[in-house]
Structures are given as C-alpha cells and as structure tokens.
Structure 1
Amino acid sequence: MPIQHLLTTVDTHTEGEPTRIILAGFPFARGATMSERQQDVRERFDHLRRALMHEPRGHGDMFGALVMPPAHPEADLGVLFMDSGGYLNMCGHGVIGVVTAALQTGFISGLSRTRLILDTPAGLVRTQAWVAADGAVESVTFENVPSFLWRRDVTLLVDGRRLGVDIAFGGTFYAIVSADALGVSVVPRSVDQLAKAGVQLRECVNRELAVSHPEIPHIRGVTSVQIFEPPRHPEAAVRNVIVFGRGSVDRSPCGTGTCAKMAVLYARGELGLGQEFVHEGILGGVFRGRLLRETDVGGYQAVIPEVTGRAFITGFHQFVIDPADPYASGFLLGDAGSDEGERKHPPDRGSKELTVPP
C-alpha cells in the first residue's frame, strides 16, 4: 500500500483523560492569530480531526491537541484543542498533557527550561513543570486566562426539572449544576445518564441565553456542562464531571472547569485569593487550584486562576490516512455519531464500485 498521508502523534492521559498530541503530518494552518488558525483548520482540515478523534483510530470521548509555532511572539508553542465534536478554545488537561510530552520527548527543539507559554485561541497560558532529577515530569501548573462568573442562579426547565444553573468562563463557557438537581450521581456507572443530562442542559442554555465573552467575540455559547456533588476524596472540596462535545465525558477533574468553578466560588464569597481548592474527577483523581489575583474582563469581576495536575505518556503513533479507505475520515456509532461515518465512500483501487459491509 503506498502511504500518501502519515500523521504522527504522542498520546498522554491526564488523570485518565486522553490527549492525542499531533506532532507532524497535519497541513499548515493559516492565520495571524490562533483563533484564525482554528477557523482555518475547521474549514479546510476538519476531516483530519475526525480521522484522529473518531473510530477506528479514536472514539467518541477522544481528545486532541494540534501543536504548531505560536502566533504570539511571547509564546513558545501554539496549540489548537479538538475533540470528537469539534474545537475548544482552551483545555486545562490538554495543557498539562502537551507540556508533559514536550519536556519528556523533546518535540520542541532545544527546549531546556521548565516554564513555557502556550498560545491558544483563548489567550496566552503560562505553565510551570515540576521535573524530577531523572527528567520525569511530576506535575504541571498552568496560569489560566481570566475566569469569571457570567451569570448566577439562572433558572431553566430541562426535561421536566427546574434547575438552578451558574454560567461561568474558565477558558470556555460552562453551565454548572448540581448532580442532585439532575437526579444523577457522579460515578462511572452513571456515565450514560450524565452525558444525556449534560447535552440536554447545554442545548437548553444555548437556546435560552446568548452567552458571549465580553472581550473575545469569537468565544460564545456554552460548550460544556459541569455536574458536581460532594467529594469522596479526603482532600477535595467538590467532586465533578464535565460533559462536552457530542456527549463526551471528561475522566479528569477538568482544568478549565476547575477555573470556572473557582471563579463561581470567589464571586459567591466561598473561596479567597490564595486559598487551595482541590477538585475531584469522576475517577477520583484531583487537580489542585488557587486564585492568584483579581482582574476585570469587560466589566465582569474576574480572577486569574492556576491549576496543577499530572499527565503520563501512553504511546507514540503513526496513523495512515488511505484515500481509498471508505472510513478514512472516521465514524461514530450511537446517538452521538448520527450518520457521519457514511458521508463519503471513495472508490476502491482497481474497482468500479465499492461494496460497504453492513
């Protein structure tokens, strides 16, 4: 088989949540800013996102990061985040995975320091890696973009339930709701219920509210739902799960979700500057966060948060995209997948007609 398109990745997980980091083989993204490059990738190369995130190379809950030279002169690396459903402006667990992989594999040429600045569509993200004597990255701390409570105690009627919801920004917009209000528990066996409830709530929020960032016009709409309950981890303040994309469920405590939650607690007077906040994920892993200082975002009281977590490399891959493959751009099964896997069936080499098995 002549190989026509080869994509190289290093895969990591951050407290259980995967990040497929695309190092080579992806066409150059055009644009003067990371948000312009994100739009260019969406318009011209979305088939490659689907190929790497969807089956047979990925799955419905897959997550990815495309690395490239930064657009901002102050940054060390540009990053575009993606999942099975589309693109995200910022991702905390992805930042931790990218920095861990960069330092442990050396995919940034000549890198010798442990402080990196990432250029993302949400802005610059400053990071600090904590490295052991043997070179292993033990954890990564990132200083996130300004985070804020957009609206508190919004009442919505979803599937017959009246819900009280907070809308907050932590790099992307979240609808934050208690598990008790939804009648679910944040446990692995309830993942299908959590995903369904999260997607329903997100659709309702975006139908009823015109959520938008006051200073970054391209950031609008709630992309993720945070469902929380009392913690099980002895150090944690809250246990949570994030539903995003087509109903994907975050295995980690979620970095940007942790920032959004801290912004809500600060606005409510329940968390102070410099106070540690331990956030537990659905698998029991934790991120540690704190608020560094206050700021202002378009008239909203905002905070600069930082979050610390750990990631591990799980593998190195070279993926082939064969133009004769009827599933070259991937597919998803179930409700989330729709009929996407049937969009395009290129002709078989040497054949006049391609027969696709049921």
Structure 2
Amino acid sequence: MNFEKMYSTIDTHVVGEAFRIVIQAPIAFLGSDILLNNDVLKNNFENAKKLLLNEPRGHRGINGCVVTPSYVADFGLLFFNHEKVSNFKYEGLFATVTALIETGNLERNANDIYKVETVRGVYTLKLQIENQEVVSVYMESGICSEKKSDFDYASINVDNARNYLLYNLPHSIPTIDLQYLAELNRWGTEKIANLINDNVDFEGIILVESSPEYPNKVRSVTFEKDGYILRSPGIDSTFAILSSLSTNSEIENNSIFGSSLTAKKLSKGEHQFSIEAQAFVTGAHEFIFDEDDPLRNGFLLV
C-alpha cells in the first residue's frame, strides 16, 4: 500500500447536503490563479476524485471541495463533483468556512467576516460564532433574473450563471411528501429526459408546491441534471423560487426531507437575496488510494 497518496478531509452537511472538504492531499496546483487551478483540477486527478466521491467511501450525494491559497481572499475554494453536477454550490462555501474555523485550520478574525475566492468570484460570508462553534453563516446572492419562457415552466437564472426551471406541482401528485417519492422520481426522470432531448439548457429543475393560506412558505424538490433529488431545499433553488414571486419579500423553502431555508429580498437590489444557514461538521477522515485495490475507484449504486 502506498501511503504517499493520502487525503485528509473534513465532512460536513448544510441542511442535509453533504460536502467532503479536502484540506491536505497530493493534488498539486501552480500558484494561486483560481481559474487555472480549476482547469487543473477538472482535467486531472481522476483517481483521487473517484476515491473521495464514490462508494464505498462516499455516495452520489457527496460534493467535493478543495481548499487552496488565495491572494485576494481568506482562502480559495474549488469544487469537484459527479458527472452532470454543478461545479459550484453556495452550500460549499458555508460548509468549508465552518469546517475550517471549527477545526482551527482558518484563523478567526476580529469581525468574523470571511472572503472566499471561487471561479464565480469572491464571496463574503458573515459568521456568528459561539464557543468556537459556527452557529450561522450569512451570505448575499448575486443577481437573479427570470428569463422569458413560452413553456410550462419559469426559467430563473441565478448569479448570471446557473439556469433553473420551475414547475408547479402537477395534479397527478397529491403533495410533495416522502410517501409519493416514487411518483416524484418518475416525474423528474421523464421531465429531464424530455428537456435533454429538446436541448434545453438547465442546471436543475424545481418542482414547487404552494398554498394561498401560507404565501411565504413553499415545499419543493430539486432534481439535478442526472435525475438525483437534492437532499436539501437548495440555496440556488430557494433564490430561484423567491425570484419568481414578485410580491414576496421572503420565502421559507421546505424540502421533502424536512429541512428548510429562508431567503429574503435585499432592499438594495430587487433581484438580490440574503440567506442564513448553519453547517455541521460530521467527521474528519484520512483516505488512502491503493493501486492494488480492485475497487480503488469505487462505484455508484443505482
């Protein structure tokens, strides 16, 4: 066994969505250019990425993050993920800054405001810390906008980068609840196949259930591009839903698994929002890549 190929990670989750944060690994970058390093990570280290993402060490719901140095922020953050999954997630910012602060890998500053450099730009996070535990992370979005659509969905662009398609709950499904998971899965699988066949550009599709009795609350399910159901309400999804509701100043978005996120419109911009959430550290791990292991790249359960 070659112990030179060892990867130190911290596992976290944000309202149910899991992140594996690589803090030490034989992954070499050239300097601190975030775009160049992103290309290096994207086009190399396939064995390492599979080791960290796939069963039996991971699962389809795991998202990968790599912490890098930065000249313009407190740290840089790169994403690696399963095929067809976004290479950027707001939740990864929340997860990583929480993990680094709570494990002492990032020095705490006086105002508990931290900047994270990503391929999408530099994001500012405001932390509330009690007894060395990060109890909340606050962040403001980029610009979100609704695109004109002649179809049965609303098309919302988040951060001028990620396009989501919002659908109202069809009459064939009584409600968004775990007891109707099979029906929801079937609906999502069919819808995604049709969209891909029609060459529609999208990051994910969001099925939304609302009620006139509770105008500031919705239930939703987000399907990623491979048909996987997101384990959380989704920060992008919550921003997209609020962006589509012109009369609402805030929205509470509840997932099928019982977690929730609340987004609020910012007074400074009609199409910008704020969100606050807590990340939880669930473990610290050392992973070893063994060339002799017949399952060294792992596998995914279907």
TM-score > 0.5, shorter chain as reference:
yes
1:133-172 residue CA offsets vs partner (Å, 9 max, x unmatched)? x1211111111222221234x42xxxxxxxx111212242
Residue in structure 2 matched with residue 308 of structure 1 by the alignment = 276
CA shift in 2, pair 1:41/1:262, >3 Å: same
1:328 lines up with 2:300 in the alignment:
no
Between the aligned partners of 1:222 and 1:288, the Cα distance in structure 2 is 23
Between the aligned partners of 1:190 and 1:270, the Cα distance in structure 2 is 30
Aligned-partner residue type, residue 69 of structure 2: P
Cα contact 1:53–1:62 (8 A) shared by 2: yes
1:48 Cα offset (Å): 2.1
CA shift in 2, pair 1:74/1:305, >3 Å: farther
Between the aligned partners of 1:245 and 1:21, the Cα distance in structure 2 is 23
Residue in structure 1 matched with residue 65 of structure 2 by the alignment = 65
Residue in structure 2 matched with residue 166 of structure 1 by the alignment = 154
Residue in structure 1 matched with residue 135 of structure 2 by the alignment = 138
Residue in structure 2 matched with residue 276 of structure 1 by the alignment = 250
Which piece of structure 1 moves more, 109-118 or 97-106?
109-118
Cα contact 1:194–1:243 (8 A) shared by 2: no
1:83 to 69, 81, 84: 81
CA shift in 2, pair 1:43/1:143, >3 Å: same
The percent identity for this pair of structures is 23
Question: How much is the aligned-residue C-alpha RMSD, in angstroms?
Answer: 2.7
- 2:188 is paired with a residue of what secondary structure? helix
Q: Which has the higher contact order (CA 8 A, sep 6+)?
A: 2
Residue in structure 2 matched with residue 12 of structure 1 by the alignment = 12
2:120 to 122, 132, 145: 122
Residue in structure 2 matched with residue 286 of structure 1 by the alignment = 260
Between the aligned partners of 1:66 and 1:189, the Cα distance in structure 2 is 37
1:110 Cα offset (Å): 5.9
- 1:129 is paired with a residue of what secondary structure? strand
> How many residues were matched structurally?
298
1:220-270 residue CA offsets vs partner (Å, 9 max, x unmatched)? x31212111137xx89511112121533222221111111222222xxx22
1:199 Cα offset (Å): 4.3
In structure 2, the gaps of 5 or more residues are none
1:251 lines up with 2:231 in the alignment:
yes
Between the aligned partners of 2:175 and 2:15, the Cα distance in structure 1 is 20
Aligned-partner residue type, residue 129 of structure 2: V
Query: For residues 260-275 of structure 1, what are the structure 2 equivalents within 5 Å?
Result: 260-265=240-245, 269-271=246-248, 275=249
- 1:180 is paired with a residue of what secondary structure? coil
Between the aligned partners of 2:28 and 2:300, the Cα distance in structure 1 is 26
Cα contact 1:241–1:281 (8 A) shared by 2: yes
- 1:330 is paired with a residue of what secondary structure? coil
Cα contact 2:173–2:184 (8 A) shared by 1: no
1:294 Cα offset (Å): 6.1
Cα contact 2:85–2:224 (8 A) shared by 1: no
CA shift in 2, pair 1:278/1:83, >3 Å: same
Between the aligned partners of 2:46 and 2:197, the Cα distance in structure 1 is 25
In structure 1, the gaps of 5 or more residues are 156-163, 211-220, 296-301, 335-358
1:319 Cα offset (Å): 0.8
Cα contact 1:84–1:246 (8 A) shared by 2: no
Residue in structure 2 matched with residue 345 of structure 1 by the alignment = none
Between the aligned partners of 1:119 and 1:195, the Cα distance in structure 2 is 35
1:84-111 residue CA offsets vs partner (Å, 9 max, x unmatched)? 3355243122222112112211222465
Cα contact 1:81–1:87 (8 A) shared by 2: no
TM-score, normalised by the number of residues in structure 2: 0.86
1:39-86 residue CA offsets vs partner (Å, 9 max, x unmatched)? 32121123322221111111122222222123xx43222222333335
Cα contact 1:196–1:247 (8 A) shared by 2: no
Query: For residues 208-247 of structure 1, what are the structure 2 equivalents within 5 Å?
Result: 208=198, 221-230=201-210, 237-247=217-227
Aligned-partner residue type, residue 3 of structure 1: F
TM-score, normalised by the number of residues in structure 1: 0.74
Between the aligned partners of 1:21 and 1:12, the Cα distance in structure 2 is 8
Cα contact 2:78–2:119 (8 A) shared by 1: yes
